[in-house]
């Protein structure tokens, strides 16, 4: 049965020209709306291997269609979302994952934003506390010449 479905799907593929923006074809859509929605979600997270940064959900390339069919096939077989993704990654490599796994060196990618944010907050707090406790600056900061120039520029700013 599965093979039959597949043959029918491939048969209709002959008529397909690669028009951009035409990803999910009507004949791919699953009857079961919940399964189809899961298929779309999974597809949006998988990269088309031959495209420039398009997910298989957006790409009109042949391989993207094959992958979409594969995703749906696995879902119909009863795989969980993770199993489907693992299945595809096992065959096409981690390159197809648009959201990289949290493992090995990739941990840096995922943790660095938090580290940067933490460091930034730390620096900001130190800076702000420093400014809050700093003594008021000496007022004689400008020479007469500079003061005149500044006055010319700041002329109408007192409104603020």
- Is 3 near another protein (CB under 8 A)? no
- Is 98 near another protein (CB under 8 A)? yes
Residue 13, C-beta contacts closer than 8 angstroms, at least 6 positions apart: 62, 65
Site string for another protein, 18-47 (x = CB under 8 A): xxxxxxxxxx-x--------------xx-x
- Is 16 near another protein (CB under 8 A)? yes
Q: Please tell me the count of residues contacting another protein according to CB under 8 A.
A: 66
- Judged by beta carbon, residue 78 or residue 86, the one nearer another protein is 86
What are residue 46's DSSP bridge partners? Answer: 97
Site string for another protein, 46-85 (x = CB under 8 A): -x----xxxx--x---------------------------
Residue recorded with tokens 């597809």 = 43
Residue 75, C-beta contacts closer than 8 angstroms, at least 6 positions apart: 30, 35, 38, 39, 42, 84
Count CA within 13 A, CB hemisphere, residue 119. Answer: 6
- Judged by beta carbon, residue 78 or residue 104, the one nearer another protein is 104
Is 59 within 8 Å of 51 (Cβ atoms)? yes
CA distance 96 to 83: 15
The binding site for another protein (CB under 8 A) comprises: 11-12, 15-27, 29, 44-45, 47, 52-55, 58, 93-100, 104-106, 109-110, 112-113, 116-117, 120-121, 124, 127-129, 131-132, 134-137, 141, 146, 149-150, 152-160
């Amino acid at each position: 049965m599965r093979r039959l479905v597949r043959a029918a799907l491939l048969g209709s593929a002959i008529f397909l020209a690669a028009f951009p923006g035409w990803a999910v074809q009507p004949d791919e859509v699953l009857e079961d709306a919940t399964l189809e929605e899961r298929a779309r979600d999974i597809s949006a997270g998988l990269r088309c291997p031959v495209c420039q940064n398009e997910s298989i959900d957006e790409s009109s390339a042949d391989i993207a269609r094959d992958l979409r069919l594969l995703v749906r096939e696995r879902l119909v077989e009863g795989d969980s979302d993770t199993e489907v993704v693992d299945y595809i990654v096992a065959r096409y490599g981690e390159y197809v994952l648009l959201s990289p796994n949290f493992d090995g060196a990739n941990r840096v990618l995922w943790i660095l934003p938090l580290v940067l944010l933490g460091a930034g907050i730390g620096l900001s707090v130190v800076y702000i506390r420093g400014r809050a406790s700093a003594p008021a600056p000496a007022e004689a900061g400008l020479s007469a010449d500079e003061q005149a120039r500044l006055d010319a520029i700041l002329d109408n700013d007192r409104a603020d």
